[in-house]
Amino acid sequence: MFGLSLGNIFFMFAGVFYFAAWMVANDKIHSNDFDDIYRVIFAIIFAARTAGHSGALAPDHGEAVKDAVFRSAGNFV
């Protein structure tokens, strides 16, 4: 699971570059619009990295919630 979340970034790189090359080849965008392509790449990479880190930390979050509930219940008993 952790390896897939880290590999997510590279899958996004490959997907965006492939789609950008397809758009250039089919005259959907001009080949000199690389600024726009890189903006999209960085936005997708940031989103993929955030999703990967969130997925990797999800089991820790569940344990932290259980511990917080039991500790707060112990204060009232």
Mean pLDDT, residues 12-35: 84
DSSP state, 74? Answer: H
* Structure token digits, residue 41: 């790449």
pLDDT for the residue numbered 74? 64
The secondary structure of 7-55 as a DSSP string is HHHHHHHHHHHHHHHHHHHTTSS-TT-HHHHHHHHHHHHHHHHHHHHHH
Higher per-residue pLDDT: 28 or 48: 28
Q: How many Cα atoms sit within 13 Å of 26 on the Cβ side?
A: 7
pLDDT for the residue numbered 69? 78
pLDDT digits (tens, 9 = 90+) for 40-68: 778 877 887 788 777 777 777 677 777 77
Break the chain into its structural domains and give their ranges: 2-76
Measured between alpha carbons, how far is 31 from 7 in angstroms, rounded to an integer? 28
